[in-house]
Amino acid sequence: MILAILEIVKGSLTETSLETVTAARDLAQKSNDSVAALLMGKGVSTLAPTLKGIHTVLVAEDPHLEGYLPDALAEIAAYAIRQKSPKIALAPGTETGNDLMARVAARLNLGLATNCVEFSVEGGSLKRVTRLNWGGSLLEEVEIFSSPILLTLAPHALAAQSADGATPTVETLSLTLTEKALRVRMKELIPTEKKGISLTDAKIVIGGGRGMGSAEAFKMLEELASLLHNAAVGATRVATNNNWRPHSDQIGQTGAQIAPDLYIACGISGAIQHMVGCKNSKKILAINKDPEAPIFQRADYGVIGDLHQVVPALIAELKKLKGA
């Protein structure tokens, strides 16, 4: 059995969960095995019939399961793995998925390979997996010696595919959750105010790095953004660590991962930490006065020049065009 442990947000399976199902089906097909999925939460059994191409759906609907309860979910997933002894159990490599599987792996005293992107199946069994290191700027091939094999799948490592097939059999898991499993529980959710276009939603992102030199200088990036459709301003770790911008504006391995149509990098050298956050941009335009800056090796368009001259000139030109 290959067991897919799925995430449900606001009553629906997430995109990364559907990707996980796709990977589980693929692994099962290559190793001539069956596929099962685990659904945990209040009222989740209604989702079971939507999971085509899966043999069994395990359902745990404890009434306590409201809000994020990582230890409770880990207790259930560990129980399912003990009961069913799958060859492989995998979950989405999201923040919550990695958190959950680490708790499961600790409980079962098993290894866990997080954020996998490739699987190498030989002679019907999974030999090696490739996982992300350095936020994806390096790949690591690993062999897993513990069994069952526990994995998480890096988000968008593959595209979710629908499958045909009979509606799966539903099996209810019943276990009583201990008090301890409920000790980490979300008390409340304080909604954040949405202001402007978020970095992850913007079609154009303008980023500023060390070359900006001050918080003041970011005003011209704001002005440039205001002249473009659907644009937002971001920053590098250097800029946020210098308090030129709030950390919420950071693009990078420890900040936002963006995927705009165009990323305009101003005064950014192209550190690995930053490039991990913008590598999914369709096009990258770099403005930097140092022609040797590493960013030029990872950009589509390059402007060799001082951003403090280029950006104001660009703003003036755009204003002229708007006026015309």
Partner 1 sequence: MKVLVCVKRVPDTGGGFKLTADGMRVDTTNLGFTVSPHEECAIEEAIRIIEKHGGSSTVLTLGPQAAQEQLREAIAKGITSAILLEAEDYEFWDPAATAQAIAETVKSLGFDILLFGNESADTCNYQVGLRVAHLLDLPCVTGIKALEIQNNTAIAKRETKDGWEVYEVPLPAVFTVREGINTPRHPSLRGIMSAKKVPIEQKKVTKPASQIVRKALKKPQEGRQLEILGQGVDAVPKIVEKLREVGAI
The least distance separating partner 1 from the CB of residue 75, rounded to whole angstroms, comes to: 12
Record the tokens describing residue 134, joined without a space. Answer: 């350095």
Spatial distance between the Cα atoms of 253 and 257, rounded to a whole number of angstroms = 7
Give the nearer residue to partner 1 in terms of CB position, either 6 or 151. Answer: 151
- 67-95 in b/e form (b: 16+ CB < 10 A) is eebbbbbbbbbbbbbeebebbbbbbbbbe
The least distance separating partner 1 from the CB of residue 78, rounded to whole angstroms, comes to: 11
Give the nearer residue to partner 1 in terms of CB position, either 164 or 229. Answer: 229
DSSP 108-132: HT---EEEEEEEEEETTEEEEEEEE
Give the nearer residue to partner 1 in terms of CB position, either 47 or 202. Answer: 202
Torsion of CA 270, 275, 279, 283, to 10 degrees: -30
Spatial distance between the Cα atoms of 249 and 215, rounded to a whole number of angstroms = 13
Give the nearer residue to partner 1 in terms of CB position, either 97 or 168. Answer: 97
The least distance separating partner 1 from the CB of residue 36, rounded to whole angstroms, comes to: 23
Give the nearer residue to partner 1 in terms of CB position, either 15 or 171. Answer: 15
- 151-173 in b/e form (b: 16+ CB < 10 A) is bbbbbebeebeeeeeeebeeeeb
The least distance separating partner 1 from the CB of residue 103, rounded to whole angstroms, comes to: 6
Record the tokens describing residue 167, joined without a space. Answer: 């509606």
CA angle 167, 169, 170 (to 5 degrees): 115
Place of tokens 């930097």: 288
The least distance separating partner 1 from the CB of residue 165, rounded to whole angstroms, comes to: 33
Please answer whether residues 5 and 101 qualify as being in contact, where contact means their C-beta atoms are separated by less than 8 angstroms.
yes
The least distance separating partner 1 from the CB of residue 233, rounded to whole angstroms, comes to: 14
The least distance separating partner 1 from the CB of residue 84, rounded to whole angstroms, comes to: 20
Give the nearer residue to partner 1 in terms of CB position, either 8 or 272. Answer: 272
Give the nearer residue to partner 1 in terms of CB position, either 32 or 243. Answer: 243
